[in-house]
A and B are shown apart, each in its own frame.
Chain A
Amino acid sequence: MARINLDVNGKVHTIDADPDMPLLYALRNDIGLNNPHFGCGLAQCGACTVHLNGQAIRSCVTPVSAIGTGKVVTLAGLGTPEKPHPIQKAYVEEQVPQCGYCINGWVMTAAALLNEKKKPTDAEINNALTGLKCRCGTHMNIVRAVKRASEMMG
């Protein structure tokens, strides 16, 4: 066990944890953020995606000891109904989710892409999102939302 400081959504939390424990469990159980979700534990689906210093990472395979002083942002920290990230606003407007369990992967990955580049090409969108999973099959809606968010970002 080790004492670990984690900067999550702009607030530093101190937890006692096995250094090998994936960040996912620190976020869910120690810090009490129910997003992100466990999907595979293998970095194959994206349901656990968070930002680390603005980059989308899979928290299910990232040891909590590897975060250091990095800034972690979860879906809850990305935006709020009052101050949404454009991809969140677009997700609501396009009515994207069906079950919604996969949402962290798509929204956090798309947000990282759009923060980097407001007007990604279709190829760049595909390149960023490939490998993420949505079992309900909302693929068409997801891409519509990314494009709508891109338009909002001007």
Chain B
Amino acid sequence: MTKMENPANFSRRSLLKTGGALVVSIGAPIALDTVLGIDAAHAQASGTKPPLTPDQLSTFIAVNGDGSVSAFFGKMDMGQGLFAAIGQIVAEELDVPFKTVKVLMGDTATSVNQGGASGSTGVQLGGKQMRVAAAEARRVLVEMASQRLSIPADQLTVTDGVVHAKADPSKKASYAELIGGRYFNVPLEWNKELGNTLYAPGKAKPKDPKDYKIVGKPLPREDIAPIVYAQTDFCTDVKRPGMLHARMIRPPVAGSTPVKVDEASIQDIPGAKVYLEKGFLAVYAENEWNAIKASQKLKVEWSNVQPSFVEQVALYDHIRKTPPRKHQDEGKQVGNVEEAFRTAARVVEAEYEWPFQSHASMGPACALVEIQDGNVTCWTGSQKPHFVQNGISRTIDVPLDKVHVVWVVGPGSYGRSDADDAAMDAAVLAKVTGRPVRVQYTRDQGTGWDPKGPASIHRARAALDAQGNIVAYEFVSKGFSRVDVNTNGSQPHDTLAGHFRGIALKSGDNFGIPGESYEFANKKTYWETIPPLLDRASPLRSSHLRDPVGPQIHFASESFMDEIASTIGVDPLELRLRYVKDARDIALLKAVAEKANWQSRPSPRRDQTGNKVSGRGIAYSQRNGTRVAIVAEIEVDRTTGKISVRKFTVAHDCGQIINPAGLKHTIEGNMIQGMSRTIWEETKFDTKNVTSIDWMSYPILDITERPAEIDIVLIDRPNVAPSGAGEPSMRPLSAAIANAIFDATGVRIRRVPFTPESVRQAMS
């Protein structure tokens, strides 16, 4: 058995052995056990199925004819091991072997909208729901066994999917015998919410963590071997009979539209055709290579528009000077900051800058849409397929219930990437051609036109008294919005297909504040957002990129704590411990310091001469319940400006750990991607367009630049509900590196990325 079922080949009914029995509807499934007897109340007759709504146990859990379990999950695994983690949670609560659980994800026909991959909530919120659903399934199955065996439920237990008397294991009934092949007919208490906050528990109480046998074990991911042996189809690999290949044509100057399209320019390419609708321009052909050639040869005259973007060198000044569209106080505002600054003995101030960054997924987005008899099917790598379902319905004007979206693993996804755009483009083209259409973007579109992580500046200031105590603290972020386009493609005003076809952008406002537990007598935190540089289809539209705005904010806030520490000549760990008040944060900081053998002294070191100097830096942050502290030990080559990481020590507390092996891999990936964003990544642009459009112009961390070592301390808290792990550990990383550079060199770097050139310049 495998955790990974190819969703493209999956239909729920095929999983369940149908008995050919007469379909019996038993009506509303409320409290029927008093009327019909437990068996009829808890299990639907073969072949019939309660509605796919969150208030039905059958929506989440099914026991198949062979006793295996299917878990239907409305979130997605982006490669961080959720197939294993959710399988473990379900197997644990049901008391079945891990290997008998299949987790089926992201198919709108078999799962409800649990928010997709979003905010590292796969375990935190998605797993929470699967836990209570599996617990309820076990409770119901034990009740059914109780009736069948005429033994009170409290005298029964479950071992490997077999309910048996505690006193006499020979008195037993297996899950397969009790319900195998039929659906649960059990209501759940749904909170009436969809998305991340969906919650629908039953009557059962989940297990006490002290009884766990499967949760907490480092079980391997079973979806890895099929990838390694080339047996996994990605969203790029789905094919349909009669399928057309399409490529999109994007304007060379952002904001311009096609004035004249010379179809004769591609007439010698067999089957190549053009589709033009306002600014939406595509070529397509039966043969993929012909579609690619057509996209390269098509002659287009574009409207002459005034370039929209500022010069890149003026980006941060633009952010600084532009009046905010929205000002938002956020977090606990304490005391009177202005008054405290007026009477301060000393004020420390600093400003930090973070560039636009790209998702730069391994492959540009790809989607396939087929419309048959009014029924639309979309295969997409989007991490939010339930929202894509809404988006397609609105984009091509078909009823929602006629749209079926199947998530198929894509070429990497780290937030609101280009995947949702590709799905909408394919839907438009499938509708106008009447054929299945596969749209794959080009590399320059994948890196150039994906939604960007927003550029921002961050100002921090602290008021110190005569003894060097921090008496007031203010932190403000100002930048482009994290929801200039929204975090999913459910609305045409948030996708390129919408924009290019004339739907106006509805730019939203959101940013964020530092996640920490520093307590100061006076504290103020807020953010401000400015409008996008271009109010329509834009390669600089901003949205969610992994740990949205977290790396930006904490680069600034945790660098600033070090600036205060060095100002007053205090060890940076010691300064943090003076003001951090949360007990878990304190334990975390002490754990990372102990593991890294942290020696107390102020920064910078002043004992080094020579070209290569080394230093250490610390930073920590919270993210929705998870806490991460990092110690970076680095070396700086003063001639080249190149930074080498000797060691990252990471302490990670996300409450209860489901799978420590998967967690460590997730943390490592976060560290490498975070290091890449810190040292190399910056979206480049001129006044006309984004100019970083491939791996040469948008470099990421090379394997030869990997840290020499990553040492991870996992703090397991079995009795604390698990929080997320997919993003938090990249959050304090940039500051840990910046603080280590300062320790090594005495030079404070306040702008990302720390390329060799920028580090060299900073030191000169």
Q: How far is the CA of A35 from the CA of B231 in the complex (A)?
A: 9
Report if B443 contacts A (CB, 8 A).
Answer: yes
Q: Hey, what's the 0/1 contact readout for B632-670 against A, CB within 8 Å counting as 1?
A: 000000000000000000000000000001100110111
Could you tell me the dominant secondary structure of chain A's interface residues? loop
Contact B288 A25 (CB under 8 A): yes
CB neighbours of A102 from chain B (8 A): 362
Contact B230 A137 (CB under 8 A): no
Identify B79's interface contact among A37, A47, A75, A98, CB under 8 A.
Answer: A98
Name the residue on A nearest B414 (C-beta).
Answer: A135
Contact B225 A92 (CB under 8 A): yes
Interface size class of A (residues with CB under 8 A): 35 or more
| Stretch of B396-404, B525-533, B694-702 lying at the A interface | B694-702
Report if A70 contacts B (CB, 8 A).
Answer: no
CB neighbours of A114 from chain B (8 A): none
Name the residue on A nearest B362 (C-beta).
Answer: A101
Contact A84 B702 (CB under 8 A): no
Q: How far is the CA of A75 from the CA of B358 in the complex (A)?
A: 29
Identify A88's interface contact among B229, B237, B661, B671, CB under 8 A.
Answer: B229
The interface centre, meaning the residue of A35, A102, A135, A140 with most chain B CB atoms within 10 A of its CB, is A135
Q: Hey, what's the 0/1 contact readout for A123-149 against B, CB within 8 Å counting as 1?
A: 000100111111111111111000000
Contact B225 A81 (CB under 8 A): yes
Report if A45 contacts B (CB, 8 A).
Answer: yes
Identify A100's interface contact among B409, B442, B676, B694, CB under 8 A.
Answer: B409
Contact B236 A40 (CB under 8 A): no
Contact B228 A88 (CB under 8 A): yes
Known: A97-B224, A98-B669. A135 touches B230 (CB 8 A): no
Q: Hey, what's the 0/1 contact readout for A26-58 against B, CB within 8 Å counting as 1?
A: 001100011101111110110100000000000
Contact B672 A99 (CB under 8 A): no
Identify B287's interface contact among A22, A29, A88, A126, CB under 8 A.
Answer: A29
Report if B48 contacts A (CB, 8 A).
Answer: no
CB neighbours of A17 from chain B (8 A): 289
How many residues belonging to B are interface residues under a CB distance threshold of 8 Å? 57
> How close is B222's CB to chain A, nearest CB, in angstroms?
10
Q: Hey, what's the 0/1 contact readout for A79-115 against B, CB within 8 Å counting as 1?
A: 1110010001001100111111111000100000000
Name the residue on A nearest B218 (C-beta).
Answer: A95
Contact B703 A135 (CB under 8 A): no
Q: How far is the CA of A84 from the CA of B226 in the complex (A)?
A: 12
Report if A59 contacts B (CB, 8 A).
Answer: no
Contact A138 B229 (CB under 8 A): no
> How close is B679's CB to chain A, nearest CB, in angstroms?
12
Identify B665's interface contact among A22, A29, A40, A98, CB under 8 A.
Answer: A98
Q: How far is the CA of A113 from the CA of B273 in the complex (A)?
A: 44
The interface centre, meaning the residue of A39, A88, A103, A142 with most chain B CB atoms within 10 A of its CB, is A39
CB neighbours of A44 from chain B (8 A): 443, 694-696
Known: A101-B410, A133-B362. A143 touches B706 (CB 8 A): yes
> How close is A79's CB to chain B, nearest CB, in angstroms?
7
> How close is A120's CB to chain B, nearest CB, in angstroms?
14
Contact A140 B234 (CB under 8 A): no
Known: A37-B236, A38-B236, A99-B409. A79 touches B229 (CB 8 A): yes
CB neighbours of A135 from chain B (8 A): 360-362, 412, 414, 673, 700
Contact B665 A139 (CB under 8 A): no
CB neighbours of A41 from chain B (8 A): 442-443
Q: Hey, what's the 0/1 contact readout for B277-295 against A, CB within 8 Å counting as 1?
A: 0000000000111000100
Q: Hey, what's the 0/1 contact readout for B405-443 against A, CB within 8 Å counting as 1?
A: 000011111100000000000000000000000001011
CB neighbours of B696 from chain A (8 A): 44
Could you tell me the dominant secondary structure of chain B's interface residues? loop
Contact A45 B362 (CB under 8 A): yes
Q: How far is the CA of A84 from the CA of B224 in the complex (A)?
A: 14
CB neighbours of B704 from chain A (8 A): 126, 129-130
Contact B694 A40 (CB under 8 A): yes
Q: How far is the CA of A22 from the CA of B80 in the complex (A)?
A: 33
CB neighbours of B376 from chain A (8 A): none
Known: A99-B79, A101-B410. A42 touches B443 (CB 8 A): yes
Q: How far is the CA of A102 from the CA of B79 in the complex (A)?
A: 12
Q: Hey, what's the 0/1 contact readout for B222-255 against A, CB within 8 Å counting as 1?
A: 0011011111111011000000000000000000
Report if A152 contacts B (CB, 8 A).
Answer: no
Known: A44-B695, A143-B706. A95 touches B661 (CB 8 A): yes
Q: How far is the CA of A91 from the CA of B226 in the complex (A)?
A: 11
Q: How far is the CA of A26 from the CA of B643 in the complex (A)?
A: 42
CB neighbours of A131 from chain B (8 A): 702
> How close is A39's CB to chain B, nearest CB, in angstroms?
5
30 contacts between A and B (CB under 8 A): A38-B440, A39-B363, A39-B411, A40-B695, A45-B695, A84-B228, A88-B228, A92-B224, A92-B225, A92-B228, A95-B662, A98-B78, A98-B80, A98-B665, A98-B666, A99-B79, A99-B362, A100-B234, A101-B234, A101-B361, A101-B410, A101-B411, A101-B412, A107-B228, A130-B702, A131-B702, A133-B700, A136-B673, A137-B669, A138-B668
Interface residues of B (CB under 8 A from A): 78-80, 220-221, 224-225, 227-234, 236-237, 287-289, 293, 360-363, 409-414, 440, 442-443, 661-662, 665-666, 668-673, 675-676, 694-696, 700-704, 706-707, 710
Top-9 shortest CB links A-B: A137-B672, A98-B79, A76-B230, A100-B227, A34-B237, A101-B411, A99-B79, A35-B230, A44-B695
